[in-house]
Amino acid sequence: MRTYAGHSSAAESNALYRRNLAKGQTGLSVAFDLPTQTGYDPDHELSRGEVGKVGVPIPHLGAMRRLFQDIPLGEMNTSMTINATAMWLLAMYQVAAEEQGVDAAALAGTTQNDIIKEYLSRGTYVFPPEASMRLTTDMIAYTVNHIPKWNPLNISSYHLQEAGASPVQELAFSLSTAIAVLDAVKDSGQVPEDKFEKVVGRISFFVNSGVRFIEEMCKMRAFGELWDEITRERYGVQDPKMRRFRYGVQVNSLGLTEAQPENNVQRIVLEMLGVTLSKKARARAVQLPAWNEALGLPRPWDQQWSLRLQQVLAFESDLLEYDDIFDGSHVIEAKVAELVEGAKAEIDRVQAMGGAVAAVESGYMKQALVSSHAERRAKIESGDIKVVGVNSYTETEPSPLTADLDAAIMVADPQAEANAIADVQAWREQRDQAAVDEALAKVQAVAKTDENLMEATLAAVRAGATVGEWAGALREVFGEYRAPTGVSGVVGVTEAGAELTAVRERVKATGEELGGRRLRFLVGKPGLDGHSNGAEQVAVRARDAGFEVIYQGIRLTPSQIVSAAVAEDVDVVGLSILSGSHMELVPEIQRGLVEAGLDNVPVIVGGIIPESDARRLEAAGIAAVFTPKDFGMTEIMGRVVEEIRKANGLS
């Protein structure tokens, strides 16, 4: 039983972990901030506004020591949601444990390390796919030989569903990822044939559970069937224990609403039942979001509430006392068979392209997800999919839970970034720089060979290198990468209704009034926030509405966005930020546009933005702020064109 937690600083997160463990939590699930996830130190330009926001900053060994102070790592099961820099974080965890007197072989836990889905959903990739798979392969080989109880790879279909995946796509794309990784490990020759079963046995999955809980439960039974077949037939695994589909769950955050957020509690319970009702497909570890996630950062009390939901289910209900209650159900068997058949066909399609890496590089998987997500959004807007409190049953009594919105969420420590910058600079000053330089040179030398990178990474940790320095050294060898956005070619709305038709006409007329051209809409993702689902859907709908759309993908500095606005001669700039860095990055872009002479270009902002922050942004001249409650995408497009007219003095 876990909650996904971490914020502000190693010291504050350590206190939170110890409180949660005292309340009955039985494992730790560490959330790292975006600079740590993407290989930047707190004082890097791209880290501005992101330090300590969506997780804890852990740039060096000293911070890792502090994070787990007074927590016995030899007795703990720790899950780390980390991907591009997973090798670095595991190395720091191992060294911190050794300093506690714990042998690496005794460590138990998981590094997510599923880089394929980062190119498709979360966006915290650093290196090109082939180099990233090299790091994953090296980690798997190292842990099988040195940390046998560690799960070095936690294939995360969770984020695929958040990016719009159907159950069939979730099954197929995540299992295609597993095939790609297992093939890479086999081809590397780092694991003897007689140990390959252990590689298969240590792979785990991290799965999403949506509110359609019967379908989700059938999906889990399908996962188990498919995994057993793949591991037996493709890889010849004979031991049934090594073929077991081992998975943990974070139930769905995509369906959590800002409107009537109290409804999220029953959604979370239904989603939890989807992965616990069926004994044969029951999750081994569950973590639940908090009811107020769509509003901002949950408080400790909100996390406690989610933990208590699990405890009531486990200890008060009789759910765990019976064999599988769905065995023999014709309805369940038929649905599972349908999902298995669909997933096999999609897996075959990906394999025919050359596997998951090729399907990432070609943009196939990303475009499929963007298209699926656009279809879902269109159905919510049309009412074909009902969301209580959002597009149906919107009449509501005032909620005491949100009477004071500013108090209904936790605010990250405003000093977190300054403190982290001071900390990393102090860390650099007190270490042996020559030893660091030598260790990083060794990392680069090994990266140019087929040798396993883990030992060189451990040496860099012990020497005192930082996450930014380690990642920077590897960037020089492997290069960086910009994944396909998946937006080109996707049609969001096939048949325009009256509302979209009216907006199209307004967009066209406005363009003609401004010089007889199409209106140009720049969609920007500033900072390190890689959750691009919202930006992609805005881009698709803007194109459907008649705008010419400029969308360059994720991880841009404010100055890059301003430069793009100037070069593309845009009529409006739309910024998407879900990481909480809006109060730092938006004003910086706004200033840059004014300085570049684009003071008549309206700026609109969307994301997880508390109401008080939205008011401050609008008071500072931001034309409009949209949050998850604003689900009507066509309505948003109508507002955008009106802001363009207003900014240009059109009636």
pLDDT at 483: 86
- Is 582 considered catalytic here? no
Q: Which of 53, 525, 582, 613 is catalytic?
A: 525
Q: What is the mean pLDDT of residues 84-94?
A: 98
pLDDT at 602: 97
The answer, yes or no, to whether residue 492 has pLDDT greater than 70, is: no
Measured between alpha carbons, how far is 495 from 93 in angstroms, rounded to an integer? 53
pLDDT at 119: 93
The answer, yes or no, to whether residue 493 has pLDDT greater than 70, is: no
- Cβ(298)–Cβ(410) below 8 Å: yes
The answer, yes or no, to whether residue 524 has pLDDT greater than 90, is: yes
The label of the residue with tokens 């820099």 reads 85
Q: Which of 93, 158, 247, 551 is catalytic?
A: 158
478: phi then psi, degrees, rounded to nearest 5: -90, -25
The label of the residue with tokens 């002479």 reads 597
Say if 403 falls within a structural domain.
no
Measured between alpha carbons, how far is 206 from 80 in angstroms, rounded to an integer? 12
Q: What is the mean pLDDT of residues 89-111?
A: 96
Among candidate residues 315, 316, 296, 312, the one with its CA nearest the CA of residue 304? 312
CATH number at residue 593: 3.40.50.280
Q: Quote the number of domains for the chain.
A: 1
Q: What is the mean pLDDT of residues 309-319?
A: 94
- Is 146 considered catalytic here? no
β-bridge partners, 208:
250
- Cβ(72)–Cβ(100) below 8 Å: yes
Q: What is the mean pLDDT of residues 265-290?
A: 91
For the stretch 185-198, pLDDT in tens is 999 999 999 889 98
The answer, yes or no, to whether residue 324 has pLDDT greater than 80, is: yes
The answer, yes or no, to whether residue 79 has pLDDT greater than 80, is: yes
Q: How confident is the model at residue 251 (pLDDT cuts 50, 70, 90)?
A: confident
For the stretch 423-468, pLDDT in tens is 999 999 999 999 999 999 999 999 999 999 999 999 999 999 999 9
Higher-confidence residue: 486 or 134?
134
Higher-confidence residue: 496 or 145?
145
Say if 543 falls within a structural domain.
yes
Question: Both tokens of residue 209?
Answer: 């559970």
Measured between alpha carbons, how far is 144 from 158 in angstroms, rounded to an integer? 25
62 exposed, middle or buried (CB, 10 Å; 0-12, 13-18, 19+)? Answer: buried
The answer, yes or no, to whether residue 271 has pLDDT greater than 90, is: yes
Among candidate residues 154, 152, 151, 150, the one with its CA nearest the CA of residue 74? 150
Q: What is the DSSP string of 400-429?
A: GGGSSGGGSSB---TTHHHHHHHHHHHHHH
Q: In the predicted model, what is the mean pLDDT of the chain? A: 93
> How close are the terminal C-alpha atoms of the chain, in Å?
58
Say if 617 falls within a structural domain.
yes
Say if 153 falls within a structural domain.
no
Is the alpha carbon torsion for 255, 412, 534, 542 positive or negative? positive
Q: Which of 53, 60, 366, 531 is catalytic?
A: 531
CA 597 from centre of chain: 36
pLDDT at 487: 85
649: Cβ–Cβ under 8 A, 6 or more apart, which residues?
none
Measured between alpha carbons, how far is 206 from 525 in angstroms, rounded to an integer? 26
User: How far, CA to CA in Å, does 49 sit from each of 39, 128, 545, 606?
Assistant: 15, 26, 32, 16
Measured between alpha carbons, how far is 297 from 640 in angstroms, rounded to an integer? 28
Say if 170 falls within a structural domain.
no
Is the alpha carbon torsion for 336, 338, 342, 345 positive or negative? positive
Q: How confident is the model at residue 285 (pLDDT cuts 50, 70, 90)?
A: confident
- Is 529 considered catalytic here? yes
For the stretch 336-385, pLDDT in tens is 999 999 999 999 999 999 999 999 999 999 999 999 998 888 888 888 99
Q: Which of 159, 219, 344, 582 is catalytic?
A: 159
Say if 611 falls within a structural domain.
yes
Among candidate residues 335, 377, 387, 375, the one with its CA nearest the CA of residue 215? 335
pLDDT at 486: 81
User: How far, CA to CA in Å, does 208 sit from each of 25, 171, 245, 529, 537?
Assistant: 20, 11, 15, 21, 21
Q: How confident is the model at residue 497 (pLDDT cuts 50, 70, 90)?
A: confident
At residue 125, what is the residue type? Y
Measured between alpha carbons, how far is 607 from 212 in angstroms, rounded to an integer? 25
pLDDT at 430: 97
Say if 120 falls within a structural domain.
no
Higher-confidence residue: 152 or 24?
152
Measured between alpha carbons, how far is 606 from 260 in angstroms, rounded to an integer? 19
For the stretch 568-614, pLDDT in tens is 999 999 999 988 899 999 999 999 999 999 999 999 999 989 889 99
Say if 90 falls within a structural domain.
no
Question: Both tokens of residue 624?
Answer: 């409009």
The answer, yes or no, to whether residue 390 has pLDDT greater than 80, is: yes
- Is 613 considered catalytic here? no
- Cβ(207)–Cβ(249) below 8 Å: yes
Domain extent for 529: 498-648
User: How far, CA to CA in Å, does 353 sit from each of 133, 196, 346, 350, 363?
Assistant: 17, 26, 11, 5, 11
pLDDT at 144: 92
- With a pLDDT cut of 90, the percent of the chain lying above it is 76
Q: What is the mean pLDDT of residues 208-236?
A: 95
| Other beta carbons within 10 Å of 66 | 17
Q: What is the mean pLDDT of residues 49-67?
A: 94
448: phi then psi, degrees, rounded to nearest 5: -85, 0
Among candidate residues 98, 240, 119, the one with its CA nearest the CA of residue 173? 119
pLDDT at 491: 66
- Is 348 considered catalytic here? no
